[in-house]
Homo-oligomer: A and B are copies of this chain.
């Protein structure tokens, strides 16, 4: 009865897919799901129908799929394992933040509850992973902070990077090389629609200009008093 790694991957992909959507209409389209998982569309359809049978998702033909309460809890626990493992690999094993995602993608399905509890304890019950993604609690509850991106935050004010929402290694290495990792204090100097670019002032007034697509993947919060690492 325990879910296979395939099932866990589907649930997680739906969970993450739902994130992009509004609170009411949170149906993930089949096409998006299939491409997120790297399977053919028909495969996703078949699989989702099976998941619906076992009560983990609700499926609306031609519209998409959403998680049931049970499915959402399971997905959150997979994500918890994933993110705790990522942080563990960076902090304890000394791996780079750009190489832990793929490793966690495998291990998240094969680590026992007992070991996860050990890791959580050893890391001091952390709230976020190396990319700033929140770590769900053991009961499946997730703290959902809403942050601005570099596209929506105020201009000319110091802000702190809180989260980088792209797991691709080359992007993460770029972020690291330019001191834009979570915790860094930066400022958006200007945005230009025409050139599709955003100009930043980074650590020690270092200037960088990045594209808007990239800018939308960096989340920030106001750099004043109230914050939690």
Q: Which residues of A contact B (CB under 8 A)?
A: 89, 92-95, 99, 102-103, 106-107, 109-112, 114-115, 118-119, 122
Q: A92 to chain B: which residues have CB within 8 Å?
A: 92
Q: A111 to chain B: which residues have CB within 8 Å?
A: 103, 106-107
- Contact with A94, one of B94, B107, B118 (Cβ below 8 angstroms): B118
Instruction: Give Cα A183 to B109, complex, Å.
Output: 35
Q: Are B106 and A110 in contact (CB under 8 A)?
A: yes
Q: A118 to chain B: which residues have CB within 8 Å?
A: 93-95
- Each complex incorporates copies of this chain amounting to 2
- Contact with A99, one of B89, B102, B114, B122 (Cβ below 8 angstroms): B114
- Contact with A115, one of B95, B112, B114, B115 (Cβ below 8 angstroms): B95
Q: Tell me the nearest residue of chain B to A88, going by C-beta.
A: B93
A99 to chain B, nearest CB (A): 7
A47 to chain B, nearest CB (A): 20
Q: A112 to chain B: which residues have CB within 8 Å?
A: 102-103, 106
Instruction: Give Cα A175 to B89, complex, Å.
Output: 33
Q: Are B103 and A115 in contact (CB under 8 A)?
A: yes
Instruction: Give Cα A93 to B103, complex, Å.
Output: 18
Instruction: Give Cα A106 to B89, complex, Å.
Output: 18
Instruction: Give Cα A69 to B102, complex, Å.
Output: 31
Q: A122 to chain B: which residues have CB within 8 Å?
A: 93
A89 to chain B, nearest CB (A): 7
Q: Tell me the nearest residue of chain B to A108, going by C-beta.
A: B110
24 contacts between A and B (CB under 8 A): A89-B115, A92-B92, A93-B115, A93-B118, A93-B119, A93-B122, A94-B118, A95-B114, A95-B115, A95-B118, A99-B114, A102-B112, A103-B111, A103-B112, A103-B114, A103-B115, A106-B110, A106-B111, A106-B112, A107-B107, A107-B110, A107-B111, A109-B110, A110-B110
A8 to chain B, nearest CB (A): 13
